[in-house]
A and B are shown apart, each in its own frame.
Chain A
Amino acid sequence: GDSVTQMEGPVTLSEEAFLTINCTYTATGYPSLFWYVQYPGEGLQLLLKATKADDKGSNKGFEATYRKETTSFHLEKGSVQVSDSAVYFCALNSGGYNKLIFGAGTRLAVHP
């Protein structure tokens, strides 16, 4: 079945460092891909998405490119801030199915 694999955390960075969180997927067909973020004590929020190969989703300085050839959707940010500390979830939706499949989540901790 469809699945999402994320790099294990926690990822610990200093402020202004470059961030990459790896995400790879297995799916039949052509899924849409998402990154959600969960701040402490809150529900998940949609961060960005991409619906077809080579699309780049971006929001709040974060970017991710849908790479069909490597089945990947890695999240990147050029300069992280303390306020970016959160858990990041990669997810996919296979067209026609009314559900999202989530990865296990990657915790990011950014220190001043």
Chain B
Amino acid sequence: NAGVTQTPKFQVLKTGQSMTLQCAQDMNHEYMSWYRQDPGMGLRLIHYSVGAGITDQGEVPNGYNVSRSTTEDFPLRLLSAAPSQTSVYFCASTARGPEDGYTFGSGTRLTVV
């Protein structure tokens, strides 16, 4: 099925551990983004990409890295997990930009203990 696939769905990390959240889309979308969702705060942009090889920081980039080696994949790396990174993470993509509306993945619920 066409769409945005995120893995894993759930993850528990210990403080200081690193991990990569995977995101893949099969719609040939140029634009991809990572958001985190926290209670009462809506969604906040972490990093985004406008095409393979091009990434930029969003509103809350600290503690996260991204790369975009292919159009399909946009992984998010947590370098050294902290309890403040406990959140639900969403990957989203769009063909030509936010004006077209984003397609969201189903999310990764991350708990850092």
Q: Which residues of A contact B (CB under 8 A)?
A: 4, 32, 34, 41-46, 49, 51, 89, 93, 95, 97-100, 102-105
Contacts and interface: CB of A to CB of B under 8 A. Distances in A.
B98 A44 contact: no
> Does more than half of chain A's interface fall in helix, strand or loop, or is it mixed?
loop
A98 B104 contact: no
Interface string B24-41: 000000010101000011
A100 B98 contact: yes
A39 to B, nearest CB: 10
Contacts, number: 58
Contact of B99 (A4, A32, A105): A32
Nearest to B49: A98
10 contacts: A42-B107, A43-B90, A43-B92, A46-B102, A98-B33, A98-B97, A99-B33, A99-B45, A100-B45, A100-B98
Contact of B90 (A44, A49, A97, A103): A44
